[in-house]
Structure 1
Amino acid sequence: MTVATSAAASASRAAGILSRPVSLNGLTVPNRIAMAPMTRQFSPGGIPGEDVASYYARRAAAGVGLIVTEGTYVGHESAGGSDRVPRFHGEEQLAGWAKVAEAVHAAGGTIVPQLWHIGMVRSAGEPPFPDAPAVGPSGLRLDGTAGQGKEMTRADLDDVVRAFAEAAAAAERIGFDGVEVHGAHGYLIDQFLWAGTNRRTDAYGGDLVARTKFAAEVVAAVRAAVSPAFPVIFRYSQWKPDNYKARLTETPAGLEALLAPLAAAGVDAFHASTRRYWLPEFDGSDLNLAGWTKKLTGKPTITVGSVGLDGDFLKGFRGEGAPVKGIDDLLDRLENEEFDLIAVGRALLQDPRWAAKVLAGRIGELAPFDAKSLGSLS
């Protein structure tokens, strides 16, 4: 077989595997490529404008099957820390999001908003509500120190659960195809899941199963707020920003204990966030976190972590580039049903036509990641 023939066969294989549709509850995603959520801060006043609609629609038109939006703040005053991150509450904000969903659908894609509360990551005095305190399970920041916030009361917990449910109901009402609950990367829900930030002695703290109680209540409320066929995705991670060794659990048995209450509460699919998808999650198996999640829950999973690039994504935000990485290993795993979708971040951020090139077998046209591209994000 010549080099050219081999390359053509590889390209054809990529197109064939990635072009298969997949079902997430009542939603049929047209292919296996998802857009990973990436914070952009391009929505002054928390209102997504026409530029945001165009940004997502361009990627849907170029073959992305499922758009997961950047994180959007739920309707709780302590949820965020920027007035340029979009919010998923408020008349103007939701009207803007309705236009985004309409544009993505017109381009042939499907779209879910990521619902977000940052918890103790918030700093005092930050917008959009400067007087709101940071809140968390124990009032602790990710480094374990006391922050300028407070430990959440039962009333606080109920308010946040309600905010997630109301956002999910709004998403279905204005035309989205599902929702993703952000339970990863050291933000509020993850702060409850992780022993490093959850020191509570009530029903919401203690062992790993007890620490899932708040997340499960959020999921159950979201599930109850939308129709039965409306997909609920849950994103989670082991790692935290600047603490890559942090782990919710060290074993498959622990992971099963963590995920089972969430699946029972109504999660339809899990989005397992890793920094490099090709790394095994536990000793003795090549399965990554998404692979273990699917094996333990039976639910569809989305894998993510430097897809198409060789280098850590956080370095990109510090001005570092990354070379192109082949996806043959990724295709092997997808073909073996280790997971169901791949979420693409930086590669798709830089090149809106990344999916079209891969699906058409034009892999040779893919370019290395250039951190300077973060300045446009068009």
Structure 2
Amino acid sequence: MARAKLFTPYSIGTFELANRIVIAPMCQYSAENGCMTDWHIIHLGQLALSGAGLLTIEATAVLPEGRITYADVGLYSDECEAAMRSVLNSLRRWSEMPIAIQLGHAGRKASTEVPWRGGKQLAPDNVNGWQTEAPSAVPFNIGDNPPTALDRNGLARVRNAFADATRRAARLGLDAVQIHAAHGYLLHQFLSPLSNQRDDDYGGSLENRMRFPLEVFDSVREAFPAERPVTVRVSGTDWVDGGWTIEETRVFAEALKTRGCGAIHVSSGGLSSGQRIPVGPSYQVPLARAIKSVGMPIVAVGLITDYVQAEAILNTGDADLIAIARAILYDPHWPWHAAAHFGAAVKAPNQYLRSQPGQFPSLFEVRADD
């Protein structure tokens, strides 16, 4: 039987992945003052033993006011960096899996309650809330406290914060950085005409709306070691008439490619409460397919839960890598089970080798001893 493409190696420049399975960043809302806690050791630890090709740390704020909630992870202080280093030291002791981080700023979607307590935006005078900022003073929901429109000094502050967080990521030895320009957060807010109503060089035309996200990319790329990739997560469409489109996403992707972007992770939506998303298995894959012709590595995501489904996306050429999120929360050994299905092999910790089922005698690759 031919080797499943899902379990073939893949390279982004000189950065090599053992297989095509990427664990997408997933917010845990379990940090304290931006600092990772022992929850992150438990959560990321089990994912680091899953056999995937890459683990991505959740959306990590570059400024305190850039957090989605008061319980988000940040990388904007020495304390945040030290807490993350402690978690990473634990992961690396037991796993060889490459680790990336997603850096972002929530913009007008910041200052919210954690999801299991309703997730609504908190007012600036709430003990857990603060004043949000955005391209324009347009709130996400009617009734939300309007964000402050970023002036030139504000733009410089955010841009520098992305670079500073990237330098911290480099010191931590993280293998890749992903810039979050999707899901209605700050950089996506600049891209979409629904949220960007500026009349200066950062608003209006597509070229102007792309300007700040591209400046952020340049600052991150400059701050990260050249041999390690910087990738970008985009929303391919707002799913709203008059909003950001897949055609504009292609232009943005082409601009990123010329600047040395390592890969594009194609998602969608999140910018407007008026979105109408045709949710179903692989519903975002056509968006990934539409960007594939740009000629850079493409990551597909979105209700990809089945092994055969993931393999088909790769075999049809719609994407180069498959990102899974909720599916691996539900089944932290999803890559093990996918490998067993296809007769492939994955790395497993020595402590778990005894769990290898008898009918799959070649499933586990032994982790190299220190």
- TM-score interval for Structure 1 and Structure 2 normalised by the shorter chain: 0.7 to 0.9
8 A contact 1:72–1:113 mirrored in 2? yes
Amino acid paired to 2:194: G
8 A contact 1:239–1:246 mirrored in 2? no
1:271 corresponds to which of 265, 268, 276: 265
Whole-angstrom distance in 2 between the partners of 1:52 and 1:127: 26
The residue aligned with 1:207 is 205
Identical amino acids, percent of aligned pairs: 29
- Alignment gaps of 5+ in structure 1: 1-11, 282-286, 309-325, 364-378
Amino acid paired to 2:178: E
- Matched ranges for 1:321-360 at <5 A: 326-360=306-340
Q: Secondary structure at the match of 1:23?
A: strand
TM-score, length basis structure 2: 0.79
Whole-angstrom distance in 2 between the partners of 1:127 and 1:353: 40
Cα distance 1:362–1:20, how it changes in 2: closer, same or farther (>3 A)? closer
Cα distance 1:139–1:257, how it changes in 2: closer, same or farther (>3 A)? same
2:223 corresponds to which of 212, 222, 225: 225
8 A contact 1:290–1:303 mirrored in 2? yes
2:25 corresponds to which of 9, 15, 37: 37
8 A contact 2:31–2:73 mirrored in 1? yes
- Matched ranges for 1:69-218 at <5 A: 69-74=57-62, 76-105=63-92, 106-122=94-110, 123-125=122-124, 130=129, 132-143=130-141, 147-218=145-216
* CA deviation after TM superposition for structure 1 residue 20, in Å: 1.1
* CA deviation after TM superposition for structure 1 residue 181, in Å: 0.7
Whole-angstrom distance in 2 between the partners of 1:126 and 1:44: 19
The residue aligned with 1:8 is none
The residue aligned with 2:296 is 299
Q: Secondary structure at the match of 1:210?
A: helix
Whole-angstrom distance in 2 between the partners of 1:233 and 1:277: 25
1:84-137, CA deviations, whole angstroms, 9 ceiling, x for partnerless residues?
A: 21111222221221233334443121111111111011343278985x521111
* CA deviation after TM superposition for structure 1 residue 340, in Å: 1.3
The residue aligned with 1:65 is 53
Q: Does 1:24 align with 2:12?
A: yes
Cα distance 1:344–1:250, how it changes in 2: closer, same or farther (>3 A)? closer
- Alignment gaps of 5+ in structure 2: 111-121, 269-278, 344-370
Whole-angstrom distance in 2 between the partners of 1:90 and 1:145: 32
Q: Secondary structure at the match of 1:141?
A: coil
Q: Secondary structure at the match of 1:343?
A: strand
8 A contact 2:34–2:64 mirrored in 1? no
Whole-angstrom distance in 1 between the partners of 2:125 and 2:341: 46
8 A contact 1:31–1:64 mirrored in 2? yes
Indicate the RMSD between aligned Cα atoms, in angstroms: 2.6
* CA deviation after TM superposition for structure 1 residue 278, in Å: 2.9
Amino acid paired to 2:24: A
Cα distance 1:277–1:205, how it changes in 2: closer, same or farther (>3 A)? farther
1:248 corresponds to which of 244, 251, 254: 244
TM-score, length basis structure 1: 0.78
Cα distance 1:175–1:361, how it changes in 2: closer, same or farther (>3 A)? same
